[in-house]
Amino acid sequence: MGGQLSPIDKAKFVAAKQASEYVTSGMKVGLGTGSTAAWLVQCLGEMVREEGLKIKGVPTSNRTAKLARDVGIDVIALDEAKWLDITIDGTDEYDDELTLIKGGGGAHLREKIVATASDRMIVIADASKKVDTLGAFPLPLEVVPFGLPITQNLIAETLTGMDVLGNEVVQRMQGDEPFVTDEGNFILDLHLKRIGNPRQLSLVINQIPGVVENGLFIDICDVVIVGHADGTVTTRDITNDTSDVVRFEVLDDENIFSDMAD
């Protein structure tokens, strides 16, 4: 990352930094996936190495597991942890109710399982992730490879009865090959433009047999921490109904986590 942080990385870093203050020794911590969550893992790794923080991390993807180990976090499986004190993750969109669209990194299935097995879920984001109405970001569905065309047809049929604006269903690719999740499944991205009733959509979509899980997180997230490029961080806790603003000084030439190479 060579010295100077981009404005977006500054925003992600300060959000992650603020979220790391929720983590104390003895906690079992769900570690999210994606570029914002990677900053969090770096911050926690630094606390482990330099401040003696003692935590067990439960990663939501193979990528995050590798990063967590690399920075010195003790990684355990969810089965071993059984229940977590906190999960901190990024998001693709969030609204006023802290309903989220996740899965831009293809990890929403494990992310949802881990967040649901936690006392609290904190989302860290830059300000671009806030929306009035969910759906501009395509909604990811994790689907089993078996019977994929049937599943796609059923999804298309189901969408006709839903309060959405778009109906394009696109299989996620990685180069010329289908994107494959850590669970060995495929991802379908639903280009819905606007999701009028996330709760109804989530329930109905998950009824389709080939669908494993959708990327809507409803009644799961408790706190959103939003970072800004000037170092300001706003925290909104919907369980305690509190809001808070702090400001971090991030020097332009500060070389934070230079090992987070591009």
Give the interface with ligand 5RP as residue ranges (CB under 6 A): 32-37, 89-92, 102-108, 111
Minimum CB–partner distance for residue 33 and ligand 5RP (Å): 4
How many whole angstroms from its chain centre is CA 164? Answer: 23
* Cβ atoms of residues 7 and 37 within 8 Å: no
Rounded distance between C-alpha atoms, residue 23 and residue 148, angstroms = 41
Active-site choice (111, 157, 213, 249): 111
Minimum CB–partner distance for residue 82 and ligand 5RP (Å): 23
Is 111 a known active-site residue?
yes
Minimum CB–partner distance for residue 118 and ligand 5RP (Å): 15
Select 10 or 102, whichever has its Cβ closest to ligand 5RP.
102
Q: What counts of helices (H) and strands (E) characterise the chain?
A: 7, 17
Strand partners, 74: 56
Select 154 or 257, whichever has its Cβ closest to ligand 5RP.
257
Select 7 or 26, whichever has its Cβ closest to ligand 5RP.
7
Select 154 or 234, whichever has its Cβ closest to ligand 5RP.
234
How many whole angstroms from its chain centre is CA 78? Answer: 17
Q: Which residue has the tokens 């989220």?
A: 100
Minimum CB–partner distance for residue 186 and ligand 5RP (Å): 14
Q: Which residue has the tokens 């999960």?
A: 87
Rounded distance between C-alpha atoms, residue 30 and residue 59, angstroms = 6
DSSP structure class, residue 129: G
Catalytic residue positions, numbered: 111
